[in-house]
A = this chain, B = another copy of it.
Amino acid sequence: MASEFDLIRRHFTRAPHHTDLAVGDDAALLAPRPGMQLVVSTDMLVAGTHFLADAEPESLGWKALAVNLSDLAAMGAEPRWAVLALALPSADEAWIADLARGFFACAAAFKVDLAGGDTTRGALNLCPTVFGEVPTGQALLRSGARPGDDLWISGQPGRAALGLAHLRRETSLAAAREDCLLALHRPQPRVELGLALRGLASAMLDVSDGLLGDLGHILACSGVGAVVDEAALPLAPLLATGADPALVRRCLLAGGDDYELLFTAPPAGRDQLEALGRSLCLPLHRIGQITDQATTLLLRDTHGRYSPVAAVGYDHFR
């Protein structure tokens, strides 16, 4: 059986591109570029909570890094480095090699150096910590939304949740199956969009716990309210899957694991944002507006009627 040190050396060593000292010493050495703030995030992925115990390791490696990079994207940061702590129940080398392949595919796609890590025996647990850079003062926070700002969402939220519903046999997807499972297993952090929104968006976060629940964080941090316009939600593509409309609506508004960017921006930026969406081939949907009614979240239905929403996101302890 290969030793811990051999496994790490064999599968988790790649030539770093912008790291002063990477895997192999007590710690890694790296240096943000002058004028940059370091942006740091950590998200732990646990078997049974974030993925099924028999999850395919290559996708799991991709996703573990991708969901962390999504947090950097949500700050308008450029991803640069990652460290990866891993607990594994056994040293199954083929499994580890697949995991590393997926992890490094994501790292290469977003120009991230693996700078260090830790491997130990334990219940399966993947804990990347990621580091990005943003010009000092330009990070996009949750606290910047102002009354009158538009509310935007990128891409097609709800696909990952619909994919999970399919795996749980709560629905049966036909043609849309691949697309929804891809969204679930290989999420694309919206890094390019996040960078382009510096100076355009006023507040931003990534939708990992559900659109309405995450919107609640913007409202709380900014001290504002919001109206979400049902008619503007990108429901049609999900309804075209043939899934039950109530399930579709729940997946879009409250489904987790989406990693789309939810952001606010002054109305003056509408043309520029629509052009940006076209240039990135990523639809940007204007789904509502920020109000001065602190933390009040209203849904406006297709008949123009308003109903209040108790902002509920995914809570690991409920």
- The residues of A with any CB-CB pair to B shorter than 8 Å are 1-5, 7, 20-21, 24-32, 34, 36-44, 46-50, 71-72, 74-75, 77, 81, 83-87, 90-91, 115-123, 125, 127, 129, 131-132, 134, 136, 139, 141-143, 204-206, 221, 315-318
Contact = CB atoms under 8 A, between A and B. Distances in A.
Residue from A25, A71, A75, A86 having most chain B Cβ neighbours under 10 A:
A25
A74 B137 CA distance: 33
B38 A118 contact: no
Nearest to A41: B27
Given A21-B141, A44-B87, A315-B5, A31 B38 contact: yes
Contacts of A143: 25
Contact of A125 (B38, B123, B132, B142): B123
Contacts of A30: 37-38, 40
B46 A120 contact: yes
Contacts of A136: 31
Given A28-B39, A48-B122, A49-B121, 10 more contacts: A4-B317, A25-B141, A26-B41, A26-B72, A27-B75, A27-B77, A32-B38, A41-B83, A42-B116, A123-B125
A39 B49 contact: no
Contact of A26 (B75, B115, B119): B75
A120 B38 contact: no
A119 B32 contact: no
A261 to B, nearest CB: 10
7 contacts: A1-B318, A26-B41, A27-B132, A44-B86, A44-B87, A44-B122, A46-B87
A50 B119 CA distance: 12
Residue from A75, A121, A317 having most chain B Cβ neighbours under 10 A:
A317
A118 to B, nearest CB: 5
A262 B65 CA distance: 34
Given A87-B44, A121-B46, A39 B27 contact: yes
List of 7 A-B pairs having minimum Cβ-Cβ separation, nearest first: A46-B122, A123-B123, A27-B41, A91-B317, A44-B85, A129-B129, A26-B74
